Amino acid sequence: MIEVVPGRSGDAGAQLRLRPPRALSARQFRGLFAALSGAMWLVAGLGWLAGNVFAPAFALLHSAGLALALRWLWRSGERGEEIAIGAGAVEVRRGADIFFSAHPHWVRMQREGDDGRVMLSSSGRRVEVGAFLGPAERSQLAGCLKQFLAAADGDGRNR
């Protein structure tokens, strides 16, 4: 998901917030966990009634593993990037860390590979942005970056 946040008044620039797409909301994730665990506990209960005394222990392990897997999946959806483009600098942030910073005049945006990876480069340094986005969103990102870099540079060069 690409969210365009305009710069402050008087600022020539914008900020792009990139987040991986999520298919489910937090409530739906909890519902998925409840449905899958409930089905496992139902089968474990039937197994226990049929004489398998270890079925509840396996159901407990399964529920714990499922909870960990879904939690990891949810947390991986929280990662994101912020690209701030202003008259004085282009910065790529992941979390609190700045992975790339350069003057907009020297920043180049390229699309590479069959999957359309979007790269920003300046002075021999390169960083891929939006790696977790789908191909259509990468095309949209490339268009936004091209437009904002040209506006921040001021001379409207073809990038």
Kindly state the DSSP code that residue 50 receives in the 8-state scheme.
Answer: T
Strands 2-6 and 125-129: what pairing? unpaired
Contact, 49 vs 56, CB < 8 A? no
Task: For residue range 107-128, list pLDDT tens digits in order.
Answer: 999 999 888 899 999 999 999 9
CA distance 47 to 95: 47
Q: Among candidates 80, 83, 74, which has minimal Cα distance to 13?
A: 83
Q: Which CATH number fits domain 2-21+80-153: 3.30.590, 3.40.50, 2.30.29, 1.20.1050?
A: 2.30.29
Kindly state the DSSP code that residue 88 receives in the 8-state scheme.
Answer: S
Task: For residue range 20-71, list pLDDT tens digits in order.
Answer: 888 888 999 999 999 999 999 999 999 999 999 999 999 999 999 999 999 9
Domain boundaries, the chain: 2-21+80-153, 26-76
Name the pLDDT band for 11 (thresholds 50, 70, 90): low
Task: For residue range 79-109, list pLDDT tens digits in order.
Answer: 889 999 988 889 999 888 888 999 988 999 9
Burial of 81 (0-12, 13-18, 19+ CB in 10 A): buried
pTM value surpassing 0.85: no
9, pLDDT greater than 70 = no
